[in-house]
Structure 1
């Protein structure tokens, strides 16, 4: 496992600010930032704040952040991007007053899966994306505890895939998320 320096990534869309404080990256999101394509809502949002570096098959990336959210759809986690129309975001999103663990897999249109994790509110969370063969496996959990399976999603190998931490604030200004770590590691050995 190796740390990825915050300076190694490039933003998909610049946040209000991104300041390194005592080694942590504090990201302030722009109000209205989000990532979504078409499905059910009929709109396209592609103004997320994702700090991305090259990501290759046979590797994994994980991010650790504090999930202290309070407004509808506040969110943070890991973002994997192959193109404007092919990407995955996975992490914690605040929905209807409860933190939800979930993933959005996008191949021209987005889908969304989520489940409540109220005990994660205000805690440090780790989200890992492993790329093996033709799939991305997402796991997440409270830092220091076992990670749970979130999603296995098809993902064919492609050139110029990038991945890293992301944050969005679809409904408000003032969201600041502290990211504590961005790591490259070996992919998960199994699905269970």
Structure 2
């Protein structure tokens, strides 16, 4: 396990404010920040706040944050980028009054999946994106509970990829996300845990 320095990497879109302290990084999102391409809505949004570093093959990245979302589409997690039309954002998003684990997988056009997580609000959420072979495997957990599978998505094993913590605030101006850790860990050994 290797911690990543909060001062490393580059923002895809600068946030309204960043504060780095001994207990992590607090990021205040710009109102209407988001990442989406075309599907169903017809628009392209590429104003997410993602702090990206190189994401090597056969490794995994973990980001942890306190979950205290209030407004529609408040979101935080990990952003994985190949280029402007090929990327994945994954984490927790507040939609229609409830927090859900989700992923937006984009290859020219976006697709979106969500699964409600009752009981996670006010707790520490960790998102892990594991890059191995031709896939990105996404898992999440709350506190020290068991990992949950969120999504398996195709990812070119030869692509130059960057990734890191992400947040967006499509519907308000005052979302601040407290990220507590950002690290590289070993890639998952298999898709399914052994019995």
Could you list the per-position Cα deviations for residues 151-183 of structure 1 after superposition, in whole angstroms to 9, with x for gaps in the alignment? Answer: 000111244310000000000010000000001
- 150-159 vs 120-129, greater mean Cα deviation: 150-159
Aligned to 1:161: 161
Maintained 8 Å contact 2:67/2:121: yes
Q: Distance in 1 between matches of 2:158 and 2:109?
A: 18
Q: Distance in 1 between matches of 2:22 and 2:126?
A: 19
Query: Which runs of 4 or more aligned residues in structure 1 lie more than 6 Å from their structure 2 counterparts after TM superposition?
Result: none
The 5-angstrom pairing of residues 89-104 of structure 1 reads: 89-104=89-104
Aligned to 1:83: 83
Aligned to 2:38: 38
Specify the SS of the correspondent of 1:188. coil
Aligned to 2:70: 70
Asked if 1:135 is matched to 2:125, the reply is no
Aligned residues: 192
Q: Distance in 2 between matches of 1:41 and 1:2?
A: 39
Maintained 8 Å contact 1:82/1:158: no
5+ residue gaps in structure 2? none
Q: Distance in 2 between matches of 1:76 and 1:58?
A: 24
5+ residue gaps in structure 1? none
TM-score by length of 2: 0.96
Specify the SS of the correspondent of 2:119. helix
Q: Distance in 1 between matches of 2:161 and 2:93?
A: 24
- 139-148 vs 172-181, greater mean Cα deviation: 139-148
TM-score by length of 1: 0.98
RMSD: 0.8
Q: Distance in 1 between matches of 2:190 and 2:143?
A: 20
Could you list the per-position Cα deviations for residues 40-89 of structure 1 after superposition, in whole angstroms to 9, with x for gaps in the alignment? Answer: 11000000000000001101001000111000000000010000000000
Aligned to 1:47: 47
Q: Distance in 1 between matches of 2:16 and 2:158?
A: 31
Q: Distance in 2 between matches of 1:160 and 1:7?
A: 21
